[in-house]
Structure 1
């Protein structure tokens, strides 16, 4: 039950970009500005720092353990079966909810009156694409990334060409607000995990993954900084904080209102790219957990022709479609965020447990990663922290009930 190694460095970088340069750049800047005010760029820098620590730890672990499952595998091998399971549980539950949220974002931008219908259709279509083979999914991701980058480039050019500019800084900077903004913006960078969770489908993973992760993360940081500065110059922190569609509002304020519909379409395409990357990542972790009997064994099947875990993909797609059809998940984003931060905290702890011969990075990198995850998780709303803790606790109970079946 092994997957085919078909992805090179370019494919892995594109999949990471598709996950990171997604709907977050179109939606996260406004709530982050509302929290941080003039400290928005500081929040972006803090989020990028935590993401870099996590990415560095994840890349080294993925090179050491080139199997599907990401931190589920790393935690199991370095910290013990329970911690690996808990990471996988948090990832699958949190990111399946994120799949539905991305699908609902597509619906909200394309057809607000029928957002749930569009969301379900988006999940079903992209699940079919992912089942057709990882190379086809990578090809579609390349198209999506190219279109989104073109839209973002147009936004940056329009804003920088505007005749007037607002100051980047205005008003006081609240340190706690900067921390909360970093928590919101962190998830714009979190897509590099898709590269690690596809480790069993990457050619020469010990070389490919450590190269692909920093390239994808660096490209994303450049794009986000350019977009954030451009939008801030046109709108300023206060106006950006109140914008419903910040990038569309920015091009209107820059005197190019005809570009606003293009931005809306770009946001929908970006959400589709994030959704596809999420479906790939969650299904691989589901496959790995099922292979180890922590989830139903029937999900640990690889299609003989396409070489993908099609049953795991169909199961994740079905659950995401059900959620997209019945639940408004916008209020649950904090819950998803908590689960992902727990996932990366375990990844950093796993990297900290590598021996000197296995790791080239300084020990301070995973330590900073752990501290960053804890800080950002603690800055989330109390309801998200309580809900996330409860779900992780439920996962611990399920582990105790299923551990006896694991061989």
Structure 2
């Protein structure tokens, strides 16, 4: 009797399914949170400014264009695949079926969860360095708020993202405008300074700049909960990249203008090199010069907010990937259970708790700065494989014949093929540049996970084909 009741409850829960409740602004701000704009300005944008000097805004513009090309791949695929799961679904449909999808899905999880953890740990490190708030206090608070928001469901999370993201955007724009209007500030043309550095040095700055308008990859797994997903997802992907790049370029340019108001160009370049050489953020130093203690509450809000939003965006994306894999019988059915609010709570809790544990343990063992670096390194190869799979999926999709033209999908095949190839080359170049100096030993956890996934796929294939002692697989049970 109890088993019968439990089965009915499970069936009724799973029949609820994901609901299409998200509009354009919901997914836009959820993705913008995955960029962590203020945190990116204090880290990646500072590095761009230090490397490229007054040509930094140009490096960010070029980096944003390159990121847009990769984002265009996701935008085009999102018109073809509107279910939850994102990259897992793309690989399943266009790159060899469920086994390939399973492999890519796990790579996405290995990318998303450590990457989201890196954001919240990075915010914790900056809050400790700038404000003196110990990570033992700010990190658990950020993780707890993120976990609660994820559990409450995507509509609550989206509302928080809209409120906090809008406030942060307005703050960044206001600060940038204030810096531009500072007396004695020198407005300059950044393009005229491109000849002052070598091309190779400039390209290193571009690599850092590409990392700024990321976050668009968190939209794709949410497609199953987006209204009019074919149009909305692609538009949100493209818009969030442009917005993130524009905010970063404005922040870097205004910082340079403000710096030149009380330093000459040679002093400013020396200041950039010395600050970054000591692990300090030039952006924060310039802001403190003009805003003083008024900057502290802004930084407190931005740091905690970015940590929460960045981690939340990747938890939501990871949980929807788990849900999609379970819904396709690639993982236990329990992961596809959805509550009455349309939230896959088990997948959400597993994703959130995994991120919480990884963030806390690595920070406890290594300290916040080294934990931030390690988590970023760990997600690097998985990120490469995930984005390459999307590039090849679009190339494959563009070569397939379909019977009818659907939402413009079949009208741009030539462009899709060209963009997929260019995006693949860009992804390989970016990953290669980013991995210079990374110790292979730091990536051992990724290789171990990859070996386990591969072994699982091989064993499962043998079992399904009856190649192992005459057994076969049925609903995760081996039957003779």
| Residue 20 (str. 1) matches residue 78 (str. 2) | no
| Residue 178 (str. 1) matches residue 195 (str. 2) | no
Aligned to 2:264: none
Structure 2 residue aligned with 1:340, among 383, 403, 419? 383
Q: Deviations over 1:75-119 (max 9, x none)?
A: 111111344333322221122112222222343344555314432
Deviation at 1:203, TM superposition (A): 0.9
| Residue 64 (str. 1) matches residue 106 (str. 2) | no
Decide whether aligned partners of structure 1 residues 391 and 229 sit closer, same or farther in structure 2, where only a CA change above 3 A counts: farther
Decide whether aligned partners of structure 1 residues 287 and 180 sit closer, same or farther in structure 2, where only a CA change above 3 A counts: farther
Count of aligned pairs between the two proteins: 405
Larger Rg: 2
Deviation at 1:178, TM superposition (A): 3.3
Deviation at 1:39, TM superposition (A): 4.8
> What aligned pairs does 1:254-265 form with structure 2 within 5 A after superposition?
255-265=290-300
Deviation at 1:152, TM superposition (A): 0.7
Structure 1 residue aligned with 2:327, among 283, 287, 291? 291
* 1:97–1:320 Cα contact (<8 Å) kept: yes
* 1:302–1:310 Cα contact (<8 Å) kept: yes
Deviation at 1:402, TM superposition (A): 4.5
Aligned to 2:458: 400
* 1:5–1:200 Cα contact (<8 Å) kept: yes
Deviation at 1:21, TM superposition (A): 4.3
Structure 1 gap ranges (5+): none
Whole-angstrom distance in 2 between the partners of 1:69 and 1:232: 41
> What aligned pairs does 1:6-405 form with structure 2 within 5 A after superposition?
6-22=21-37, 23-37=39-53, 39-81=55-97, 82-111=99-128, 112=132, 114-165=134-185, 168=190, 169=193, 172-235=196-259, 236-241=268-273, 242-243=275-276, 244-253=280-289, 255-265=290-300, 266-303=302-339, 305-328=340-363, 329-332=371-374, 333-355=376-398, 357=405, 358-361=409-412, 362=415, 363-382=417-436, 384=438, 386=440, 387=443, 390=447, 393-394=450-451, 395-403=453-461, 404=464
Q: Deviations over 1:21-68 (max 9, x none)?
A: 432223211233444445533432332122211211111211211111
* 2:95–2:396 Cα contact (<8 Å) kept: yes
RMSD (Å), alpha carbons:
2.7
Residue range with higher mean Cα deviation, 279-288 or 41-50: 41-50
Deviation at 1:179, TM superposition (A): 3.3
Deviation at 1:238, TM superposition (A): 4.7
Decide whether aligned partners of structure 1 residues 330 and 237 sit closer, same or farther in structure 2, where only a CA change above 3 A counts: farther
Decide whether aligned partners of structure 1 residues 170 and 78 sit closer, same or farther in structure 2, where only a CA change above 3 A counts: closer
* 1:341–1:377 Cα contact (<8 Å) kept: yes
* 2:124–2:138 Cα contact (<8 Å) kept: yes
Whole-angstrom distance in 2 between the partners of 1:190 and 1:385: 24
Deviation at 1:296, TM superposition (A): 4.1
Residue range with higher mean Cα deviation, 107-116 or 360-369: 107-116
* 1:29–1:246 Cα contact (<8 Å) kept: no
Q: Secondary structure at the match of 2:434?
A: coil
Residue range with higher mean Cα deviation, 230-239 or 84-93: 230-239
* 1:66–1:205 Cα contact (<8 Å) kept: yes
Decide whether aligned partners of structure 1 residues 40 and 86 sit closer, same or farther in structure 2, where only a CA change above 3 A counts: farther
Deviation at 1:321, TM superposition (A): 1.1
Residue range with higher mean Cα deviation, 224-233 or 79-88: 79-88
